[in-house]
Amino acid sequence: MSNRQISSKRKSSIRIGSETSATRAKILDEVERLMISEGYASVTSRRVAKELDIKPSLVHYYFPTTDDLLLAVWLRSIETQRFHEEAEAIDSLESLWRTYYSKSRNALALEFMALANHRKVIRDQIALHTHNIRGSRSELLSKLSDLSKLPDGCGPDGLSVVLIAVARTLVMEEGLGITRGHDEAISIVKSLLDMLEP
C-alpha cells in the first residue's frame, strides 16, 4: 500500500506532492539519515525541515502526518532492498549472508522495530512486508542450499530467521561497542553456510 493510499482516507482534503519529486526524495533521505544516526525519536517535520532548510509546511505537503512520512521511508527501504538484491544477482549463500549482515539496512530495520512498538500503522506494515520478504528469502535459500543437510524439522523459514537474528544482533551490539564473540559467531554462520552449499 502506498503512502498516498494510506493518507487518502485520513486526509483526503490535503494534496500530496508527487511521489517522483526530487524534494520528496530529499525529505525521505534526511529522515533515513536521522533515524540511523539519531534514532526515530529525532524525526519531526520541524527537524527535517530545519536540516533541509525548507519550511515545515513543505514536509507536510508531501507527508500530511508523521506516520505517512515514516511509512514512506519504510516502504522505500523495502523497494531499495529488493532492487539491490536483484542488482547484486545473489547467486551464493555467501552473497545472501552479506545482504542479511548489511549494517545500514539492519540499523534502519532496528529503528523501525523500536518504532513499531509505539505506532500501530507502522507495526502492521512491517508485519505484512516481513512476512512477504521472508517468503522470498526462504525460496532463495531453498534454491541456493542443500537443505537436506539440516537436522529434521529445520527448513528455509527457520534458517532465514536464524540468519536475520544473528545479523541484527551483531549490528545492534556493534552500535553499542560490544564485539565479544562476534568473530566466532560469523565463523559459525560461515561454517553453516559452507556445509549447506550444494
Confidence (pLDDT) at 10: 45
Decide if 129 contacts 109 (C-beta within 8 A): no
Task: State yes or no: pLDDT of 176 exceeds 60.
Answer: yes
From the number of C-beta atoms within 10 Å of its C-beta (0-12, 13-18, 19+), residue 100 rates as: buried
Task: State yes or no: pLDDT of 57 exceeds 90.
Answer: yes
For 108-167, the pLDDT digits (tens) are: 888 998 999 988 988 998 888 888 888 888 888 999 999 999 999 999 999 999 999 999
Decide if 113 contacts 63 (C-beta within 8 A): no
Decide if 27 contacts 48 (C-beta within 8 A): yes
For the chain, the distance separating the N- and C-terminal CA atoms, rounded to the nearest angstrom, is 38
Give the start-to-end residue ranges of the domains of the chain. Answer: 1-72, 88-198
Which of 36-40, 106-110, 174-178 bottoms out in mean pLDDT, i.e. has the lowest?
Answer: 106-110
Confidence (pLDDT) at 125: 87
Confidence (pLDDT) at 16: 65
Confidence (pLDDT) at 87: 55
How sure is the predictor about 84, in pLDDT bands with cuts at 50, 70 and 90?
low
CATH code for the domain defined by 1-72? 1.10.357.10
Task: State yes or no: pLDDT of 170 exceeds 90.
Answer: yes
Confidence (pLDDT) at 11: 44
Confidence (pLDDT) at 86: 63
CA contacts within 13 A on the Cβ side of 57? 1
